[in-house]
Structure 1
Amino acid sequence: MPVALFHGVNSNVGSRRLIAVMILAAPTINTAHADDADPQQAKDLGQVTVIANRKSDTYHAGDASAGALGTRSVLDTPFSIDAVTADLIQNRQALDINDVFKADPGVTPLESGYVGESSGIAVRGLPVDLLNGYKMDGLSIPNWGSDMPLEPFSQIELLKGPGGFMYGFGQPGGILNFVSKQPTLQPYTSFTLGYVSDGVFKEAVDLGGTFGGQGSWGYRINLAHEDGDTLVDGGHIKRNAASLALTKDIAPNLHWHFNSIYQDRKVQGAYYGIILGQDYGMATGVHVPAPLDGDQRVSQPFTGYQTSFRVANTGVKWDISPSWNFSVDYSYARQTRDNRDSAIILTDNQGGYTDLNYLGHSVYNYQQWQGMFSGKFETGSIGHDVVFGASWQRLDEHYPLEFQSQVLGQGNIFDVPLFVNPDVAINRSTYLAESTTQRSLFASETITFSPQWSALLGLRTMDYDDKTFNAGSPVIAARYEKSPLTPTAALIYKPIAPLTLYASYVQSLEQGGSAPQTAVNAYQTFAPTISKQFELGAKTEFETWSANLALFRVDRGLQYLNSNNVFVQNGQTRYQGIDLSAQMSLAKDWTLIGGVMYLDASNVRAAADVDGKRAYGAPRVQGNLYAEYAVPQIAGLVLNAGGRYVGNEAVEADNSNFIGAYHTFDLGARYSTSLGSHAITYRLGIDNLANEKYWLTSWGFILNQGTPRTVRASVTLTL
């Protein structure tokens, strides 16, 4: 989890004026339409249509990628999957992955990308793997302490639990898959101007269409710029993002695609985290202080981080017959990160702290090849749906040749002073610190015995090779090789078509942890561990409502920072509970999305000081709700409200400190109408309406401020 550079840039005055003009124009426009249709669907439409007061099926994702299982109906997949569409992302004016899954009770925010190192989520108490848990179009990408742009994606999918069979090794928290927007059959153009308090302005354009006549090329282009003062005093962000998607039918049954994204993101006034003194070895007996205002400055205005993404994937799909196809894909992803952020080390219980600033440059390179056959056939009355393939991927991690640190000063978090900027240049030299290669063969079969009963069997065999190196030396310092088998199995029963009952088992090999930069054994890496998940579930999908209920248990190797500030691997953590979520339309005016989770997470077979203690970062209870009301008397007006409750969480593995439970409430509205012959939508939202002060915690030792009251506004014009 590294950090950043900064450059303060004035807010875009032209954006402010254009937003003002569009808002002032609204009362003079005839109210003919409601919410603008999401262009992701335009590939299947002859034209982009505006539909009045749409129901919840707007937000429903019928299919999702499941890695080695291929693309499947969410209803018929025997694992928990949450897929959030671009419509919901845009209507909630989501800024980061925390906002995307804000209505999911199984997802807990870890930190904010405007305040901390990046946004991040835990799924059923388990954080998503930063280097193995992120995919773009099903292929691996690194995301170490950064935020993916949201504009280029039509859908963001979350597979809850271990994804070892589906995707290869990774932490059992889940897999996030970002699905690229695809070309539209008809010309499509939309412009969005947005504002986020205290002074961030955003401009975005989305273009789609075809060119080239018969066998034409399809294209989709997204551009975004974000700049201004963030919700934290002294904070600033500057972000530029772009994406390009191309498709071409080489032959009637041979299809080529290309997807790419670029992003450069600078955040200043952000910090690595607030760390209790004993968790850094600087003091003892320091407790979690009272929560700070979310907009209070904790770090210095000149601290922060800068990240860049370069991702491209391409592939071809061959429709061999109506029942069989073959695809081959290649992906290259590169992320760089400049650290210039601080660890705020609390040294007493009055708020005293030392500001320890870290500087460094790191690079992460990912490559992946994957080939996959899928098809269907029957043997008598039994149906077979099979997928088999091969995959190769390599991750190279380049760490700072010199990771610099400096004490900026001492102060009190309740009255943070300004320190002198030492203006030290970052040494951008790096060395190859770790190289991990996976070679996999996988196969799965869904056997359908009758319309009611089916079974899923899958197996991945993997050659795993993890090599670490010391700075300045090409000689392998340590090597771990293993050839595990990661199976999955499920039994599925459908008493009626819209209802699926299932029992599933999956296991996963996860990369061993790496000691954080603040530990005594900083950057020490550990051997991989095996995680296992058992899940019993029920899914429904009716015309006006859908629901998912899962009883789950995950056993995972325990890795934590002990009381001597040494990162260790010892024991096991067991996560078990109930995860219930639903989405429904009430009458024709109401849409509800939300649910509840109960989680019992504890350490087992561990060292005496942590055995039997609650797992860190895992709330016992969480509840989430998002509601929309389409006002029938005013066509195009939709009101919305949301709420989240998160129970208390242990900060450390030994439970010596907890953060308190918290709840937040959101309000908003959108109004869709027409500007001449074009659809236009205005959105306004206020998050954390009561300005609740609360802590977030992550990784077993870090505290971050919760997001304060935040105003969001935007206007989207579709041509």
Structure 2
Amino acid sequence: MRAITLGAVSTIALSAGMSRPAASQTAPQQLAPVVVQESAAKRKPTAASRRAATARSAASRRANSRNANAPQAVPATAPAREIAWGHVDGYVATRSGTGTKTDTPLIETPQSVSVVTQDQIQAQGLQSIAQAVRYVPGTRSEVLGSDGRFDQVYIRGFLADQYLDSMRLVNFGIFGYPIVEPFNLERVEVLRGPSSILYGQASPGGVVNMVSKRPTEDPYHEMFVSTGSYGRVQSGVDLSGPLDKNKEFLYRLTASGYDVGSQVDTRSYQRVSIAPSLTWRPDNQTTLTIQGVYQRDPKAGFYNQLLPRGVGMITPYNGQYIPTSFFSGQPGFDRTSRDFTSIGYQFEHKFDGGLTVRQNLRYMDNASYSAVTSPDVNLTDPTKLTRGAYTTQEAIRSFSMDNQAEGKFRVGAFEHTVLFGIDYRYATDNAINGSGTATTINALNPVYGPSPIITLTQKRDQKIEQLGFYAQDQITFNNWVALLGIRRDQANSKSTSTSLLTNAITAVDQTDSATSKRGALLYKFDNGISPYVQYTESFQPAVGTGFNGLPFVPTRGQQYEAGIKYQPNAKSIYTMALFDLKQQNVLTTDLLHPLFSVQTGEIRSRGLELEAKTEVTRDLTVLGSYTYLDQKVTSTNNAAQLGQRPTGMPRHSANLWADYTFHSGPLDGFGFSAGVRYLGDTAGNNANTFFVPSVTLVDAGLHYDFGALNKEWKGFTGQVNANNLFDKTYVTLCQDFGCYYGLRREVIATLRYRW
């Protein structure tokens, strides 16, 4: 696997390099979705963009850094404008399409949106979507520690839905979660708060939208190799540019893979990912981009939950702690694998008169297998871990389509950007479950017995179908910006469960409909300050029935938000948001019939979020965030949980990251970075009688541009990143039925070449 991973991507990269020995090193020009962009100079280089994109414009940047005061030539064309779906040099994005589905400046978007750029992902050595949001306010991720099977992100205390290019990555809440390779992405965007107006059935917490890399108008080539902790072997290539002289056809190919162990004995991860795309531009008004992904994860993660209440983890058991390397499963039996395939396109045509039509379509196939051996719940003695064994073979197939018509026009003094959309989603899930028993083991001195014997117990087939109609109007009047929207959804689902032991069949059909609304108002002062207020809603179907046999109604969410955005220049953005969010119809245990649920729950989430992203000088870039989250159960049929905090969500969290790069003198090309992440204490059980202690983690990095040493090495950069630098042992999550250790120190060294 290691040889295949490293050799395959290296061969692709070297072949491309030999065929294009004099390829352009200018920044890759991202194709705008409405008009064809011409080759243009990028904005002035910064500390972050210089390191992450040195080879894209190495010659001009080196000249500027050696003589910053020298007169600069006037470019023949205007600097390329950042677009909502394109590349960003550095850490600071100024536009996004996630909050409105239109190309809108963040300073004019009256909702909390954070953008994590590919440059930031590479600079911080991030390996997953959960890691990518480490420094984003209002989020909680990596809650399962070294268990990376799901890549989940929580926003404002609620599990967020994940989207790829604004289309849902469907899962059915079992094991078949689609996981996206971050190297294939241009940016990761976090939209906080209910977002059903644009995305239909969705979490009240918000949306994580991942934007894929698209073909570029200018040639761009990149290759990297990495090594580090746990025997890491990793490499990747990113190749893009025109296929013909007229640049009517553009291509992009990203390929990557890795083989790496983990802090847990006998457990490792493997992945191979290939993402080709092709853009056809028959004229300046029409764009068709076809995108595909094939990703195979032969080793996609593992389950490793330990005892509840932190026994042997937070508090010692008979003076001993369970090692972080302990595996609670069964070697030789436990495994998780995933095969993910998708194909789709993004079509856009611009008519005269300000009308643009789009159609985005994707078919996805996600097949997974999971074999898990897990400790039973309510255990108190780590030397006697009784365990059960479970298997699930699951196949998810989904089809998504989003049709949009965007119109720009003026009525008197009012400028309108109107968006009408119809989206459709159809998905099926077929799963076969099995169970068995496993031997009891001692977590302090494990001796694993024979592998479990599994009996297939259940076959489950599910189908969901959603049709949504939405309308949105962005109205500008002088410095005022209003955002109004409404949506109507119809969602149908069918679930059939067949017992493989008795042949008994249980079927549930469910139909839900909902109307969601959004209204927001923002005022943009000339000094870059934009205060705003907003109201928005969400709905999310709840699958299943109660004891009475009636299907559950959808959960509903409502949020009031007020905030301030400040953008003094194109290299800095500061935001503050106050929010009050409620979710109703939450499922709780039926006290009269404990095997069933009732919808008596309500959760209220209030808080404050602060974020700063600024390229202070050419040398210094700083990221910072703070979150205050007051989340409570405000309605339940269980008196012990009323007024309590949900598990796993800290009341206080804060992050700070800084990168400094030298641009002259004996240290020219050298840089270093450091980050601090603080996670406050969290409730360790539903009754809030036990809390997981707070933790502070330190990250650090070093990087060097070899072109500063010798012009013949132009395009080569090296970096070393260390996460949890001081190797702190901590518990990241406890729930009523178990706890998880957090990630230990991991060091990754990367050599990158761009040409």
Q: TM tier, shorter chain? A: 0.7 to 0.9
For residues 422 and 627 of structure 1, do their structure 2 counterparts lie closer, same or farther at Cα, with a shift above 3 Å needed? same
Contact 2:306 2:740 in 1 (8 A): yes
Give a deviation string over 1:18-54, Cα, whole Å, max 9, x none.
9xxxxxxxxxxxxxxxxx9874759865693134699
Correspondences of 1:551-590 after superposition (within 5 Å): 551-557=578-584, 558-559=586-587, 569-590=599-620
1:138 matched to 2:146? The reply is no
Percent of aligned positions with the same letter in both sequences?
Answer: 23
For residues 350 and 38 of structure 1, do their structure 2 counterparts lie closer, same or farther at Cα, with a shift above 3 Å needed? farther
Match of 1:32 in 2: none
1:367 is displaced (CA, Å) by 1.0
1:190 matched to 2:222? The reply is yes
Q: 1:597 aligns with which of 627, 630, 635?
A: 627
For residues 339 and 711 of structure 1, do their structure 2 counterparts lie closer, same or farther at Cα, with a shift above 3 Å needed? same
For residues 316 and 545 of structure 1, do their structure 2 counterparts lie closer, same or farther at Cα, with a shift above 3 Å needed? closer
Match of 1:49 in 2: 57
Correspondences of 1:4-153 after superposition (within 5 Å): 39=28, 45=39, 48-50=56-58, 51=61, 58-66=90-98, 69-111=101-143, 114-128=146-160, 133-142=161-170, 144-145=176-177, 147-153=179-185
Q: 1:435 aligns with which of 463, 472, 491?
A: 463
Contact 1:229 1:237 in 2 (8 A): yes
1:683 is displaced (CA, Å) by 1.0
Give the Cα separation in 2 of the matches to 1:576 and 1:204. Answer: 42
User: Residue 231 of structure 1 aligns to which amino acid in structure 2?
Assistant: Q
Contact 1:68 1:388 in 2 (8 A): no
Give the Cα separation in 2 of the matches to 1:514 and 1:700. Answer: 23
Contact 1:364 1:398 in 2 (8 A): yes
1:680 matched to 2:688? The reply is no
Give the Cα separation in 2 of the matches to 1:215 and 1:585. Answer: 34
User: Residue 227 of structure 1 aligns to which amino acid in structure 2?
Assistant: D
User: Residue 539 of structure 1 aligns to which amino acid in structure 2?
Assistant: K
**Which secondary structure state, in structure 2, belongs to the residue aligned with residue 75 of structure 1?**
helix
Give the Cα separation in 2 of the matches to 1:110 and 1:378. Answer: 47
Match of 2:348 in 1: 317
**Which secondary structure state, in structure 1, belongs to the residue aligned with residue 445 of structure 2?**
coil
Q: How many residues align?
A: 673
Correspondences of 1:174-189 after superposition (within 5 Å): 174-189=206-221
Correspondences of 1:51-450 after superposition (within 5 Å): 51=61, 58-66=90-98, 69-111=101-143, 114-128=146-160, 133-142=161-170, 144-145=176-177, 147-214=179-246, 216-267=248-299, 270-271=302-303, 273-274=305-306, 276=308, 293-302=323-332, 303-321=334-352, 323-345=354-376, 347-351=378-382, 352-400=384-432, 403-422=433-452, 433-450=461-478
Match of 2:557 in 1: 531
User: Residue 136 of structure 1 aligns to which amino acid in structure 2?
Assistant: L
**Which secondary structure state, in structure 1, belongs to the residue aligned with residue 582 of structure 2?**
strand
Q: 2:686 aligns with which of 653, 668, 672?
A: 653
**Which secondary structure state, in structure 2, belongs to the residue aligned with residue 676 of structure 1?**
helix
Give the Cα separation in 2 of the matches to 1:663 and 1:380. Answer: 55
1:696 is displaced (CA, Å) by 2.3
User: Residue 214 of structure 2 aligns to which amino acid in structure 1?
Assistant: Q
Match of 2:13 in 1: none
1:109 is displaced (CA, Å) by 1.9
1:567 is displaced (CA, Å) by 5.8
Give the Cα separation in 1 of the matches to 2:125 and 2:481. Answer: 40
Give the Cα separation in 2 of the matches to 1:277 and 1:355. Answer: 18
Bigger drift between 236-245 and 292-301 goes to: 292-301
Q: 1:611 aligns with which of 642, 648, 663?
A: 642
1:468 matched to 2:499? The reply is no
Contact 1:292 1:705 in 2 (8 A): no
Give the Cα separation in 1 of the matches to 2:152 and 2:437. Answer: 27
1:256 is displaced (CA, Å) by 0.8
Give a deviation string over 1:416-454, Cα, whole Å, max 9, x none.
333333486x97x9956221211111101122222x222
**Which secondary structure state, in structure 1, belongs to the residue aligned with residue 640 of structure 2?**
coil
**Which secondary structure state, in structure 1, belongs to the residue aligned with residue 706 of structure 2?**
strand
Match of 1:28 in 2: none
1:506 is displaced (CA, Å) by 0.8
Q: 1:456 aligns with which of 454, 479, 483?
A: 483
| More relative contact order, 1 or 2 (CA 8 Å, 6+ apart) | 1
Give the Cα separation in 2 of the matches to 1:442 and 1:320. Answer: 21
Contact 1:11 1:200 in 2 (8 A): no
Give the Cα separation in 2 of the matches to 1:68 and 1:474. Answer: 47
**Which secondary structure state, in structure 2, belongs to the residue aligned with residue 484 of structure 1?**
strand
Q: 2:575 aligns with which of 538, 542, 548?
A: 548
Bigger drift between 205-214 and 484-493 goes to: 205-214
For residues 366 and 616 of structure 1, do their structure 2 counterparts lie closer, same or farther at Cα, with a shift above 3 Å needed? same
Match of 1:281 in 2: none
Q: Which runs of 5+ in 1 are unaligned?
A: 1-8, 19-35, 279-284
For residues 70 and 203 of structure 1, do their structure 2 counterparts lie closer, same or farther at Cα, with a shift above 3 Å needed? same
Match of 1:22 in 2: none
TM-score scaled to structure 1, two decimals? 0.86
Give the Cα separation in 1 of the matches to 2:640 and 2:492. Answer: 33
Contact 2:345 2:362 in 1 (8 A): yes
Give a deviation string over 1:128-175, Cα, whole Å, max 9, x none.
2xxxx1211111222544532111111111111211112111112221
**Which secondary structure state, in structure 2, belongs to the residue aligned with residue 154 of structure 1?**
strand
For residues 94 and 560 of structure 1, do their structure 2 counterparts lie closer, same or farther at Cα, with a shift above 3 Å needed? farther
Q: 1:512 aligns with which of 535, 542, 546?
A: 542
Contact 1:110 1:698 in 2 (8 A): no
Match of 1:704 in 2: 740
Give the Cα separation in 1 of the matches to 2:648 and 2:732. Answer: 9
Give a deviation string over 1:242-263, Cα, whole Å, max 9, x none.
1011100123312111112111
TM-score scaled to structure 2, two decimals? 0.82
Match of 2:659 in 1: 628
Give the Cα separation in 2 of the matches to 1:89 and 1:606. Answer: 41
For residues 503 and 477 of structure 1, do their structure 2 counterparts lie closer, same or farther at Cα, with a shift above 3 Å needed? same
Give the Cα separation in 2 of the matches to 1:619 and 1:277. Answer: 17
Contact 2:542 2:555 in 1 (8 A): yes
Q: Which runs of 5+ in 2 are unaligned?
A: 11-24, 32-36, 42-55, 69-87
**Which secondary structure state, in structure 2, belongs to the residue aligned with residue 176 of structure 1?**
strand
User: Residue 600 of structure 1 aligns to which amino acid in structure 2?
Assistant: D
Match of 1:30 in 2: none
For residues 10 and 438 of structure 1, do their structure 2 counterparts lie closer, same or farther at Cα, with a shift above 3 Å needed? closer
Give a deviation string over 1:385-437, Cα, whole Å, max 9, x none.
1111211111222221xx1122222223333333333486x97x995622121
User: Residue 165 of structure 2 aligns to which amino acid in structure 1?
Assistant: D
Give the Cα separation in 1 of the matches to 2:632 and 2:416. Answer: 40
For residues 195 and 45 of structure 1, do their structure 2 counterparts lie closer, same or farther at Cα, with a shift above 3 Å needed? farther
User: Residue 336 of structure 1 aligns to which amino acid in structure 2?
Assistant: A
Give a deviation string over 1:451-480, Cα, whole Å, max 9, x none.
x22211100011121222222799882222
Give the Cα separation in 2 of the matches to 1:216 and 1:58. Answer: 29
Match of 1:24 in 2: none
Give the Cα separation in 2 of the matches to 1:548 and 1:404. Answer: 49
1:642 matched to 2:675? The reply is yes
For residues 525 and 360 of structure 1, do their structure 2 counterparts lie closer, same or farther at Cα, with a shift above 3 Å needed? farther
1:332 is displaced (CA, Å) by 1.0
